[in-house]
Each structure stands twice: as structure tokens, then as C-alpha cells.
Amino acid sequence: GAVVSQHPSWVICKSGTSVKIECRSLDFQATTMFWYRQFPKQSLMLMATSNEGSKATYEQGVEKDKFLINHASLTLSTLTVTSAHPEDSSFYICSASVGRALANVLTFGAGSRLTVL
């Protein structure tokens, strides 16, 4: 079946540095990718929706200059956390779909845990 791979699965960085997280669809072309953030014992919160070849659409309250999303190809989307701070520490999850974002064709990655010291 469809597989979405995230890399790295775990990253620690110093405050003020930038971190890039990759989300790849391994055996299908994903026209739409979603990025979520999950705090401990809380829901997954949608951060942004990215469509290949166009700018990402960010949810209200998400700083687009801090969380840069690039969807340069049909198999790769990246999330860059710029000038990371400890409050950005979280679990970031991506999902991908072909065509319209119907949940029954969404495939999720295993997530990337970011710890900012």
C-alpha cells in the first residue's frame, strides 16, 4: 500500500538554529500534503496544507515565516522550522493524498520528534 516516509524521525537542535523535516511519498504521487503538530497528550493540530507547485496554505495562528513549507515535487514536501526555540519542541507529522484530500486516501508518516535545547 501507499507509504509516507518522514526524516529524521528524531532531531535535537540548539536554540536559534533551523531544522528541516522531509516528508516523502514512496510509491505514489502526492498532489496534496498536510503538516500536523502534536503536543504531548494533545490532538494533532493541522498546521498547513501544501499543494505541489504552489504556496502552502497555513492555518490560523501558524507563523508562515517560522514554519517554511515547500512542496517542490509530487513525492517530497519539506517543513523547515526556522530559528527554533524550545517552545517549538513537538512531534510533527505529515500526511499525503492523491487528488482531493479525502481522509480515506490519506497516508500518514510516522512523525518527527523535534527537541530544541
Binding of residue 28 to other proteins (CB under 8 A): no
Q: Residue 40's CB: how many other CB atoms inside 10 A?
A: 7
The CB-of-101 to other proteins minimum distance in angstroms stands at 5
Question: Which positions from 57 to 96 touch other proteins by CB under 8 A, shown as an x/- string?
Answer: ------------------------------------x-x-
- CA–CA distances in Å: residue 58 to residues 68, 112, 117: 10, 19, 26
CA distance linking residue 25 with residue 74, whole number of Å: 8
> Interface residues with other proteins (CB under 8 A)?
4, 6, 34, 41-46, 49, 93, 95, 100-104, 106-111
